[in-house]
Amino acid sequence: MPGRTSKDNSAAQLAHLPIAIPKIFDQVQLSTANHQKNFVALYKLHAEAAQYTEIVYNGRGVKLVGERAFEDVFQRMLILVFPQKKGVAQAERIVKFVGGYTKFINEKAAEETVNQESKDEDEDEDTTASRFTAHLLKFLLKGFTGKDKIVRYRVLRIVAEMVSHLGEIDEEIYTNLRAALLDRVSDKESPVRMHALIALSKLCGAEDSSEVEDGQSVLDTLIDSLAHDPSADVRKAVLLNIPITEITLPHILSRTRDVDTTIRKVVYLSVLQSNTTQGDPPVVGPSHPRVLTIAQREQIVRNGLGDREPTVRSAAGALIGAWVENIHLKFEDNLPQLDEAIATDDKVEKNILLLLKLFDLMNSTVATDALLSVFSTKEAMFNEIEFGDHYWKHLTPESAFLARVFVDYCKATNDETRLEAALPVVTALAFHIQESYNSLLDNIQNFKEEQLLLEYGEEDKVHKEEALLDQEFIICEMLKLAVNLDYADEIGRRKMFQLVRDMLSQEGLPEGLIPACLDVLRILSVNERDLIRIVVEIVTDVRDRGEEEEDSVVKDVDAETNYGDTPATVRPARATLSRKPSAELSPEERARADVIDLKCLTLCTGMLERVDSTLDDNSTLHGILQDLVAPSAQRKELPFRQKGFVALGLCCLIAPRLAVKSIRLFMSQILNSPDDLKIVLIQSVFDMIMVHEATLRREWKKEGKDLSELIGYLAGLITADTSRKVHALICTGIAKLVFSGVIADDTAISNLIVAYLSPRTVDNQELRQCLTYFLPVFSYSSSANQERIRKIFLKTFNDLNNIRRDLDDGEDMVGAAQVVAMFVDWTDPLKSLNAVNARGNNRDGVMNDSIHIEMANDIMMALLKPQEFGVDFQSDEKKVLLQVLPKLHIPDKVDDDEIRKLKLVIYNVMQRRPLQDVAANKAVAKFDSIISEKFAQQLEDFSEEDYKKLENLKDLFDFLDSIIPEDDEVVEVVPKKRGRKRRPQSVASTSTEAESQANYSTKEKPRRNAKRRRISGSDGEDVDSENTPVPSAPTRVLPKRTSFVFISISMQN
C-alpha cells in the first residue's frame, strides 16, 4: 500500500467515496463479467483513501481517517444486501464480488510484502488489507445472531465467500469467528447452517487439534453434520466442501447409502471422481483406487452398482471407468511395482489387470460387477481386448478372471462373434487345465514335504499358501470358462470329460474346485440321471479304493481315448459302498478314510444341488444315502454332522417319503446343536415344509398329528435366545411360510412384528432388513392379510408396551405413536393390492375398505373392557390409540350395522371411559363428529331401544352390559356444607333404566332451598310425605345408556 500522509482537508478529499463506491456496486450487481475490472477500480479508491490520516495524541498516534471512511461506505452498501431473500441474482453477484475483492486485496498485500526491499520492517505489521478484512469480519459477526433469518443467511453467505481468502488475521478475530460459526451450526434455518458449515470446512485446515480445549473440533462438527443433519442440502454442502483425508473418507463413503438420491450421486461424481487425480499433469488424488483400502473400494463398487436408482448406478460406472483410465499413475514408493507384474504391452488390458489387482477376486463378486460395468460403459475398451495363444500360456489370477468375465459378458449380450474369437478350442483349454492342475498337485506335495524338512517363517508360509491359492483360482476360472465352450467337437468333449472325471476321482483335489468340475460335468452329461450315475460311480471308486496308492498326476488327456470312456458307456455303480469296519482300521487309515468321506460328502452335496429329479428315479442314490450320508449325520464330529445333514436335507427335497421320516430328526437336533449346525438344520426344515407341505400334512394326519404343531414350534423359536444369524434365519423362514399361506396362525405374524421392533434386534440388520420388506408387502398384498394384521393389532401393541416398560438403562425402542402409525399404514385399504386392482378395473379379489372402521371399533371396545382383549393399557398408551382415530380412513359407504355399532361404542367410551387428557378426548370428539356428519342419514331416527331389537347387535349389548366399572367410575356421595343430601340423579333403584330416565326427565326440578316434609320413623325422624323410599348412599354406580340421551347427542352432532 502507499505510505500514509497527513492531510488537513481529508474530509473534502474523501467526499467522493459515497458516490464512487455505489457506482461500482451498481455495476457488479448486473453481471459477473465486470468484476475483475471493478476489483481494480475499487482497490484504487481504497488505496487513495488509505493515504489520508490524522495525527493524534500530539504526534504519538495516527488516525486512519481514509480507511474508516472507505469501510463505512462499503458496509453501508452491504447493509442494503442483507434483507434480500435467497435466490435474488443481484444480491448473489454482490456477495461474490465481496469475496472476490477480499481475495484480490489480500493477494496485492502479499505481493507487496514479497517485494518489500526493507528487511528490517516488522513482518507482523498490519496492512490496509488485513485491517479491512478484520474490520469487515467484526461488522459481519454482529449479524450472526440477528432475529431475521434472511439477515443471518446473507451474513453467513458473505463470510463463507470470504473465509478462503482472509489471509493472516488476528488470533482473537479467528477465535470469535470460529465460535460464532460453530454456534450457527445449530441454527433452525437450513440455509444458515449450510453456509456456516461451508465456512467451517474452509477453516478446519488451519485448526490445530491440540489447541481444541472444550467441545468438538471443527472437523468433528463437519462429520456430525454430514451424518445427522436433517436437511439434504446441508449434507450435500458439507460433502462438497469437507477435506478428503484418512479421517473423513470413511464418513464420506457412508453417504453412498444416504436416503437422498442426489447426495449418493454427488458422492460418486463430484467427490470421488473429481478427486481421483489432481493437478496438470495429473497425479494420484485422495480418492484414487490405490489410496483406498480393499474394503473401501468394495464398498464404493457394491453400493454404487447395487443402488436402486439408475442415475446413481451410472455415476458409479463413470467412477470405475475413471479408475481404469488413471490406474497407471505412479504413487509413492510402494506401488509402482504393480506395473512390473503385468506381462502385456496392451495399455487397455494392462490398466484393467492393474485395477483387478486391487480387488479380492476369490472371496467377493464385487470385482465381477466392476469389470462388467467397465465393459458396458467403456465399449472401446471392450472391443480392444484380445486373447491370443500367449495369453493362455501365462495366466495369472487377474488375467484368468478377465477372460472368464469377458466370456460371461459375451454370453449375456449374445455377442457370438466376440465370443468365438476369444474362446480357445476345447482341446487346447483341456491341455491348459491339465498342465495347471498337475503343477498345483506337485506344488502342494512339495509344500507338505518342505514343511516337514524345513522350518518356514510365518511370512514365508503365508506367501507359499497364497501362491497355491492363486494356482487353484486360475484352474477354477478356466473350469468356469469351460462351461461356455462349444462341445460339438467330439474329440474335445471326450478329452474334457475324461479330465474332469479324473480330477474328481483324486483325493488331492482341492475342495474349492469341486463345484466348478461338477458344472462342467453337468454340461457334458446327457441328462440328470447320467450325471447322478457318474458321480455315484466316482464316490464308489474313491471310497473303495482302500489303501491303494493313487497317482498324484492326472494322466495325459491326449492319450488315446476310446468311445467306451464316454459318459454313455461308463460301467454302472455298485449297489453298496461297503468298506472295512472302522474298528479294524489303524489311526492313519481312519484319518485317511475320514478325509475321503468328507470329500465324498462335498461331492454328493454339489451333485444334489444340481439335480431336480426324484430319488425314486435314481436308484443309485440309495447306496450313498444308506452308507455315506446317514452315517455321517449320526457321527459326533461336527464337520461330518454338518455335511451329513446338508446332504440328507437335499435328499429329502427330492424324496417326499424320506422328508416325512426325517423331519422329526432335524427338529430334535435344533435346540442342542451349535450355531453352524443349527443354521443347516433350520434351513433344511423350512425347505422341506415349503416343498412337501401337502405330503407332510397328509402323512401326519394319518398318524393323528397336525403339521401345525411343528410350524407352531418353529414360530415359537422367534422369541428364543439365539445368535443374530440364527434369529434372522428363523424370522426369514417364518416370513416365507406366512407369505405363502403355509402358516395361518396369526400369532406367528405377531411374533415377527415384536421381533422387528424389539430392542433386542436393534443390531440385527439382516433380520430388520428382511422384515422391513416383508411386513408392508404382506399387508398390501390382499385385504385378507390386512384383516389379519388388524386382528393382532391390540395384542401386539400391548406386548410391545410391556417390553418398553421393562427396558434397561441405555436401551431404546420405537415409541408407541410410531407403532400405531405402522399398523395404520399396514392396514390402509387404499394401499391394498385389491384397491389397486379395483382402481384399474380389475375385479380379482374383494376390497375391504371398512377395515379402519373395524380397527376403530376394536380400539373402543378394548378401552371399555380391556380384559376381554387381554390387554392392559396405561393412560399415555390410551392417549396414543385415541389420537390416531381421526387419521383412519373412513370410506364413503359403510354397512348400517357397522356404523351403528361404532357409534354405540364411541358414545360409551365418551361416557364411561373418558381420559383425563384433554387432547385424547378432543380426538375422540373429533372422530365422533366425523362419523356423525358423514353418516347422518344412516344414524337418523334410530334409538338404542331399536338397536336392542336387532339380532346382529345382541352380542354388542351383551358386551356393554358386562362391563365392570373401573375405580374412576365410582361416585362418592359427599355431604354438602349447605342443604340436605340428595339422591344421585344417575342412580337406578327399583325402576327399570328406561322408566327411571323417563320419570326423571319429566319431573319438575325442585327449588334449591325448599324445605322437604318428613314423616316420623321408628327413630322419630321425618321422611318425605310422598312415601318415597329412602335409598342408602351408593358407593358404585353404572352410567345410564338410554335412547333419549343417545338420540339427542346424534342430533346435536
Q: What is the pLDDT of residue 806?
A: 87
Write the single-letter amino acid at 14: L
What per-residue confidence (pLDDT) applies to 434? 94
For residue 341, what pLDDT is reported? 54
Grid coordinates representing 677? 449346525
Q: What is the pLDDT of residues 586-627, one digit of tens each?
A: 788 888 888 899 999 999 999 999 998 888 888 888 889 998
Residue 187 confidence class, pLDDT cut points 50, 70, 90:
very high
Interval 394-423 mean pLDDT = 91
The pLDDT of residue 732: 94
CA–CA dist 70, 92 (Å, integer)? 22
Task: List pLDDT tens digits, range 800-837.
Answer: 999 998 888 778 889 999 999 999 999 999 888 766 66
560 confidence band (pLDDT: 50, 70, 90): very low
Pinpoint the alpha helices (H) of 247-396: 249-254, 261-266, 294-305, 310-326, 337-340, 347-356, 366-377, 379-384, 389-393
| Closest among 520, 552, 538 to 438, alpha carbons compared | 552
Find out whether 937 and 894 touch, Cβ atoms under 8 Å. Answer: no
- Which three cell numbers, joined as nine digits, stand for 486? 462349444
What pLDDT, in 10s, does the model give residues 930-975?
Answer: 888 888 877 776 565 656 656 556 666 666 665 655 554 443 434 4
Confidence of residue 41 (pLDDT cuts 50, 70, 90): very high
Give pLDDT, residue 918. Answer: 84
Q: Specify the higher pLDDT residue, 721 or 512.
A: 512
* Mean pLDDT taken over the chain: 81
What does the pLDDT read at residue 768? 93
- The predicted structure's pLDDT at residue 1040: 42
Q: 838-881: per-residue pLDDT in tens?
A: 555 444 456 678 889 889 888 888 888 787 788 888 888 888 99
Average pLDDT for residues 784-794, to the nearest whole number? Answer: 93
H helix or E strand, kind and range, residue 872: none
pLDDT at residue 332 greater than cutoff 90: no
The CA distance from 520 to 516, in Å, is 7
Residue 989 has pLDDT above 50, yes or no: no
Question: Cα(702)–Cα(699) distance, rounded to whole angstroms?
Answer: 5
Residue 688: which pLDDT band, with cuts at 50, 70 and 90?
very high
Q: How far apart are the first and last CA of the chain?
A: 83
The crossing angle, in degrees rounded to 10, of helices 816-826 and 851-864 is: 140
pLDDT at 165: 84
- pLDDT on residue 582: 64
Give the Cα separation of 512 and 1025 in Å (integer). 107
* C-alpha distance from residue 125 to each of 121, 517, 1007 (Å): 8, 80, 97
Please say if the pLDDT value at position 896 is more than 80.
no
Q: How many CB atoms are located within 10 Å of the residue 545 CB?
A: 14
> H or E element: which one contains 725?
helix 724-739
The mean pLDDT of 990-998, rounded to a whole number, is 38
Q: How far apart are CA 960 and CA 951, in angstroms?
A: 15
Nearest alpha carbon to residue 9 among 62, 47, 65: 65
Mean pLDDT confidence for 201-214: 72
The pLDDT of residue 658: 93
Q: H helices within 51-148, ranges in order?
A: 65-81, 89-114, 128-141
pLDDT at 915 over 80: no
Contact 913, 965 (CB under 8 A): no
| Interval 47-95: pLDDT, tens | 888 888 877 777 677 788 888 999 999 999 999 999 999 889 999 999 9
Q: What is the DSSP letter of 530?
A: H
Q: At what angle do helices 816-826 and 765-780 cross, to 10 degrees?
A: 40
- Angle at the Cα of 759 (from 886 to 775), degrees rounded to 5? 55
pLDDT mean over 95-120: 81
Please say whether the beta carbons of 241 and 202 come within 8 A: yes
pLDDT of residue 569: 36
Residue 190 · residue 123 · CB < 8 Å: no
Sequence-distant contacts of 416-419: CB under 8 A, at least 24 apart: 419/484
Pairing of β 5-6 and β 52-56: parallel
Please state, in angstroms and as integers, the Cα–Cα distance from residue 887 to each residue in 51, 78, 829, 883, 990, following that order: 72, 49, 13, 8, 44
The DSSP symbol for 394 reads S
- Looking at residue 694, its amino acid is A
Residue 17 near residue 70 (C-beta atoms within 8 A): yes
In this structure, which long-range contacts are made by residues 995-1001, counting pairs with CB atoms below 8 Å and at least 24 apart in sequence?
996/1040, 997/1040, 997/1042, 997/1044, 997/1045, 998/1044, 1001/1044
More confident residue, 458 or 482: 482
Answer whether residue 1009 shows pLDDT above 50.
Answer: no
Q: State the Cα torsion 48-49-50-54 to the nearest 10°.
A: 120
Is 74:136 a contact under the CB 8 Å cutoff?
Answer: yes
Is 985's pLDDT higher than 60?
no
Query: Which of 240-244, 280-284, 855-859 is the most confident on average?
Result: 240-244
- pLDDT on residue 735: 94
